[in-house]
Amino acid sequence: MVSTVVSRAGLEIPTVGLGTWRMTGHTCRRAVETALELGYRHVDTAQKYGNEREVGIAISASDVSREELFLTTKVWGRNARYDDVLESTKASLDRLGVDYVDLLLVHWPNPLVDVAETMAAMNDLHEEGLVRAIGVSNFSVDQLQKAQRASDLPLLTNQVQFHPYEPQRELLAYCQDEEIVLTAYSPLAHGGVVHDDTLTEIGWRYGVSPAQVAIRWAIQHAGVIAIPKAASREHLAENVDVFDFELTRSEMAEITNASSLRSGLAWLRGRL
For residue 110, what is the domain's CATH number?
3.20.20.100
Q: Which amino acid would we find at residue 272?
A: L
Give the residue numbers spanning the domain of 209. 4-269
Residue 257: CB atoms within 10 A of its CB come to 10
- Express each pLDDT in 147-165 by its tens digit: 999 999 999 999 999 999 9
49 noted as active-site residue: yes
The residue from 49, 165, 174, 185 that is catalytic is 49
How wide is the angle at C-alpha 193 spanned by C-alphas 190 and 197, nearest 5°? 155
Residue 110: what are its φ and ψ, rounded to 5°? Answer: -115, 110
Task: Determine contact, residues 183/159, Cβ cutoff 8 Å.
Answer: yes
Q: How confident is the model at residue 263 (pLDDT cuts 50, 70, 90)?
A: low
Residue 79: what are its φ and ψ, rounded to 5°? Answer: -100, 25
The number of folded domains in the chain is: 1
The C-alpha atoms of residue 110 and residue 118 are separated, in whole angstroms, by: 10
- Express each pLDDT in 107-123 by its tens digit: 999 999 999 999 999 99
- Express each pLDDT in 61-82 by its tens digit: 999 999 999 999 999 999 999 9
Which of 76, 70, 77, 121 shows the shortest CA–CA distance to 100?
70
pTM, rounded to two decimals: 0.94
Rounded mean pLDDT of 29-37? 98
- String of DSSP letters for 203-214: HHHHT--HHHHH
